[in-house]
Each structure stands twice: as C-alpha cells, then as structure tokens.
C-alpha cells in the first residue's frame, strides 16, 4: 500500500473515531441529566407545597378528575424530605399534568367601550418519548409553559363579545435546553353562545433533535376566562 493510501486510511479511521466519541458523549450527556429532577419541575411545584395550593389543579391520568388535594397529601412528606425524585415519579405515574392560574391580569378599555381582560395559566407536564431514534422510549422531559388569552366584554352587561389567543408567553423544557423544539400547532378561542365566558385551548408539538431525534408528541391544554 502506498504512503498516500495509508495516510488517507489513517485520516478516515481517526475521523470515524472522533465522530463515534462525539455521538456517544452527546447521548450520554442527554441521558445523564435525566437522572436528576429538573429545576423546571421544582420551580413550578415549590409554591404548591409552601401554602399556595388554591392556584393549582392536578388532573388524574386515569379519569381526568381533579386530584389536587390527594396529590398534595401523598407527596408533602417527600417535599419535606426534599425527595424530588419520588415526587417526580408519582407525578409521572398518576397525573396527566398540573396547572397554575396566574392571579394577576390586566383590564383595559378598548375603542368600542368593551373591557379587554388578559389572563394567564401555567402548565406542567412530564413527557416521555413516543417515537424517533432507537431508544426513544428512555428519554423524558419536564415542560412548564404559560398560555395567555384575552376576552372583550361589556362592562355593563358582563357579556363577552370576543376572545383572542391563547398565545405561549413562556416556555421551559429540561433537560436539553435549546435542542428541545416546540411548535404551537393549534390555538382556539371560543366564546360561549350566551357570552358568559370564553374557552381557550392549545396544542403544542414537542421533540428533541441533536444527533438523535426523539418525538414527545402533542401537549394539549385548555382554560377558561370569565368577565369581571
């Protein structure tokens, strides 16, 4: 074999070795971080255990029932022990997700004389891979995000005339940082026929893409805004 061919072969081997090591390192980095409970998860739930339960709502994975108080009673001991891994496991096993209604909102008068009322709701979900590269089912993500909607209503009658949104105003997905990709694929604002309130719903598609691809599926949430 000529010196030139040997040199080219050596370059090829080194290149393949570097690529393999890089891919292994990336894959390990993603998986290693999954052993720890994310700050996203902790930040969302800490106020829940510190006396602000009325703003929260936990939804059962089995029957979509409100199980907020049951979840609190079952997990408060683990919060006191700072056993976030146990809380995360119970959340993942038993809940579709959890929401927190923002108590602050703004009301302003529009040109038509109607009042514009903005309100936000923050949601927490634990996601598991449902498709993608080999081993996708071993990947998980914690996702906390805020939806904001607006209603317009007559201040004299309290009747809602129109609604806009909901828009995503905050988004945090961990681990993976900027390699977690999301897209709001639908947003619906529907005013009730009697104008008593408006319903808002949103669908967000989440996936991870960096050397590998993991599809976490769709996240669907809804909330209601009342006038006044």
Q: How far apart are CA 156 and CA 73, in angstroms?
A: 43
Least confident of 5-14, 54-63, 125-134: 5-14
- DSSP designation for 15: H
pLDDT at 41: 97
Do 99 and 57 contact (CB within 8 A), yes or no?
A: yes
| pLDDT above 60 for 44 | yes
| pLDDT above 90 for 51 | no
Q: How far apart are CA 145 and CA 143, in angstroms?
A: 7
Closest by CA to 227, choosing from 63, 114, 90, 139, is 114
Over pLDDT 90: what percentage of the chain? 70
The highest-confidence range among 27-31, 107-111, 116-120, by mean pLDDT, is 116-120
pLDDT band, residue 177 (cuts 50/70/90)? confident
Q: Which residues, 6 or more positions from 225, have their beta carbon under 8 angstroms from its beta carbon?
A: 117, 119, 149, 150, 151, 163, 197, 198, 200
Supply the angle between the helices 68-80 and 39-49 in degrees, to the nearest 10.
110
Q: Which residues, 6 or more positions from 44, have their beta carbon under 8 angstroms from its beta carbon?
A: 98, 100, 122, 124, 144
Q: How far apart are CA 21 and CA 23, in angstroms?
A: 6
Over pLDDT 70: what percentage of the chain? 81
pLDDT at 103: 56
In three-state form (DSSP H/G/I as H, E/B as E, the rest C), the secondary structure along 18-52 is: HHHHHHHHHHHHHHHHCCCCCHHHHHHHHHHHCCC
| pLDDT above 80 for 25 | no
Average pLDDT, the chain: 85
| pLDDT above 60 for 195 | yes
Count of CB atoms within 10 A of residue 96's CB? Answer: 16
For 59-117, how does the pLDDT look when each residue is reduced to its tens digit (9 = 90+)? 999 888 999 999 999 999 999 999 999 999 999 999 999 999 875 556 676 667 889 99
């Amino acid at each position: 074999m000529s010196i030139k061919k040997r040199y080219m072969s050596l370059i090829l081997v080194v290149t393949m070795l570097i690529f393999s090591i890089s891919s292994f390192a990336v894959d390990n980095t993603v998986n290693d971080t999954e052993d720890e409970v994310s700050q996203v998860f902790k930040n969302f739930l800490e106020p829940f255990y510190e006396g602000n339960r009325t703003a929260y709502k936990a939804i059962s994975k089995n029957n979509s029932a409100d199980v907020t108080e049951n979840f609190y009673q079952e997990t408060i001991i683990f919060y006191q022990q700072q056993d976030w891994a146990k809380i995360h496991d119970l959340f993942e096993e038993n809940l579709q997700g959890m929401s927190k209604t923002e108590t602050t909102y703004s009301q302003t008068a529009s040109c038509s004389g109607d009042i514009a009322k903005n309100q936000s709701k923050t949601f927490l979900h634990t996601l598991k891979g449902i498709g993608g590269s080999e081993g996708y089912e071993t990947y998980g993500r914690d996702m906390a995000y805020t939806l904001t909607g607006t209603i317009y209503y007559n201040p004299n009658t309290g009747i809602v005339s129109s609604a806009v949104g909901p828009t995503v105003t905050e988004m945090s997905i961990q681990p993976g940082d900027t390699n977690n990709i999301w897209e709001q694929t639908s947003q619906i604002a529907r005013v009730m026929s009697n104008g008593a309130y408006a319903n808002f719903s949103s669908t967000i598609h989440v996936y991870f893409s960096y050397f590998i691809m993991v599809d976490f599926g769709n996240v669907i949430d809804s909330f209601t805004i009342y006038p006044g």
